[in-house]
């Protein structure tokens, strides 16, 4: 796409007298105005390029932790596989994956929230570093973990309650053949219907962390707020997420030959192949994950501009119209109210 005039950072100056000290908190680095889907995507990549090391650096923190955990899991799995065989190794892989997920979730949630906070500050014309962003979000890590769990559960619960019984019935089909048909139907309906519902639910809840950061709302209020703001713009959120998925698929295509090579002889060491897969995954996470969070946060801003005249709130109220968690994680800048949280749709 060719550069547009709105792509350049243009100051959004508060009216005379709104800020006697001329504080930069009363300006926005990018013009707050309704954006089309193409403009959201263009601005996403523009901001990412302009602040690459900030966002890639934050993403590299969770990526590094994930890389270490995956390396430890891979080593443990290979040792169990050699000593106890495939059945025990499969059980070990399931347990270690669960443990790794529990350990990784708080780190991912805090880094995601810190990245969204960094984007909010950059977008509103305030300077911030990765260290300050992390310090600002670590104190509320439980809130962001709660939002992440809520979003993940909303996307998978229907799929799980239909596919799991279906898989059990398929496993019992050898004893009772009638279970084969029932199990197949449950699995098909679960994957088809539950999968579609899961995508919609995930989209509806995808603005929870920006809402929690900008409006200082709790988990439940943030999810209600996300549903309210996502109404009418699910298509744009889907496009943002689809682009991120497409980028990850490119990475998957690069990893596929090595994964196939490893699967051909799983009892071999394959040190270089495993190391390459882990390294590619780390680089992909560092480079691709900021695209989704920047795009989703821009949709959040755009919806507030469209539905609540957020641009006028910034003109008239400045920083008080955009409370953001202060360093230390237990406060907000500005008046710290949660005005936006009242506009919920009443759903949990």
Partner residues linked to 325 by β-bridges: 332
Give the predicted TM-score (pTM) of the model. 0.75
Burial environment of residue 121 by CB neighbours within 10 A (0 to 12, 13 to 18, 19 or more)? buried
Mean pLDDT, range 112-124, rounded to an integer:
88
Q: How far apart are CA 251 and CA 129, in angstroms?
A: 29
Q: What is the pLDDT of residue 274?
A: 77
Query: Quick one: pLDDT band at residue 309, thresholds 50, 70, 90?
Result: confident
Closest CA to 104 of 135, 140, 153, 68: 68
DSSP of 255-272, one letter per residue?
HHHHHHHHHHSTTS--HH
What residue has token string 């009418």? 232
Q: What is the pLDDT of residue 80?
A: 82
Query: Regarding predicted confidence, which is higher, 10 or 309?
Result: 309
pLDDT one-digit tens code per residue, 252-290: 888 778 777 777 766 566 777 778 888 888 988 899 999
Lowest mean pLDDT of 45-59, 175-189, 315-329, name the range.
Answer: 315-329
The percent of residues above 90 in pLDDT, for the chain, comes to 28
pLDDT one-digit tens code per residue, 30-84: 667 788 888 899 999 999 999 999 999 999 999 999 889 888 888 887 788 778 7
Residue 195 has pLDDT above 80, yes or no: yes
Query: Regarding predicted confidence, which is higher, 13 or 55?
Result: 55
Lowest mean pLDDT of 110-114, 146-150, 298-302, 340-344, name the range.
Answer: 340-344
Backbone angles phi, psi at 325, to 5 degrees: -55, 130
Q: How far apart are CA 145 and CA 142, in angstroms?
A: 5
Lowest mean pLDDT of 224-228, 244-248, 300-304, 333-337, name the range.
Answer: 333-337
Is 268 within 8 Å of 194 (Cβ atoms)?
Answer: no
Most confident of 6-20, 27-41, 60-74, 163-177: 60-74
Please give the structure tokens belonging to residue 15.
Answer: 């009216």
Residue 347 has pLDDT above 70, yes or no: no
CA angle centred on 334, ends 329 and 339, rounded to 5°: 95
């Amino acid at each position: 796409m060719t550069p547009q005039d709105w792509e350049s950072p243009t100051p959004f100056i508060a009216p005379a007298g709104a800020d006697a000290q001329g504080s930069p908190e009363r300006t926005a680095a990018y013009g707050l105005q309704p954006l089309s889907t193409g403009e959201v995507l263009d601005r996403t990549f523009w901001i990412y390029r302009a602040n690459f090391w900030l966002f890639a650096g934050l993403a590299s923190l969770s990526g590094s932790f994930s890389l270490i955990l995956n390396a430890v899991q891979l080593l443990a799995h290979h040792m169990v596989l050699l000593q106890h065989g495939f059945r025990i190794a499969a059980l070990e892989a399931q347990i270690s994956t669960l443990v790794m997920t529990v350990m990784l979730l708080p780190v991912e949630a805090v880094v995601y929230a810190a990245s969204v906070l960094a984007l909010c500050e950059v977008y509103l014309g305030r300077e911030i570093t990765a260290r300050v962003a992390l310090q600002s979000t670590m104190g509320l890590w439980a809130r962001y973990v709660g939002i992440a769990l809520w979003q993940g559960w909303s996307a998978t619960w229907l799929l799980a309650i239909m596919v799991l019984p279906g898989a059990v019935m398929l496993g019992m089909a050898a004893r009772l053949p009638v279970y084969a048909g029932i199990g197949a139907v449950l699995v098909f309906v679960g994957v088809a219907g539950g999968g579609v519902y899961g995508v919609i639910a995930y989209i509806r809840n995808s603005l929870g962390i920006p809402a929690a950061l900008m409006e200082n709302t709790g988990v439940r209020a943030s999810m209600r707020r996300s549903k309210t703001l996502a109404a009418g713009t699910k298509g744009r959120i889907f496009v943002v997420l689809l682009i991120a998925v497409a980028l990850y698929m490119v990475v998957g295509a690069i990893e596929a030959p090595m994964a196939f090579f490893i699967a051909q002889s799983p009892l071999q060491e394959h040190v270089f192949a495993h190391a390459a897969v882990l390294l590619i995954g780390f680089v992909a996470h560092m480079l691709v994950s900021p695209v989704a969070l920047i795009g989703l946060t821009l949709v959040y801003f755009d919806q507030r501009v469209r539905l609540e005249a957020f641009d006028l709130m910034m003109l008239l109220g400045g920083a008080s119209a955009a409370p953001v968690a202060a360093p230390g994680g237990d406060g907000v800048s500005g008046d710290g109210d949660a005005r936006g949280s009242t506009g919920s749709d009443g759903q949990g």
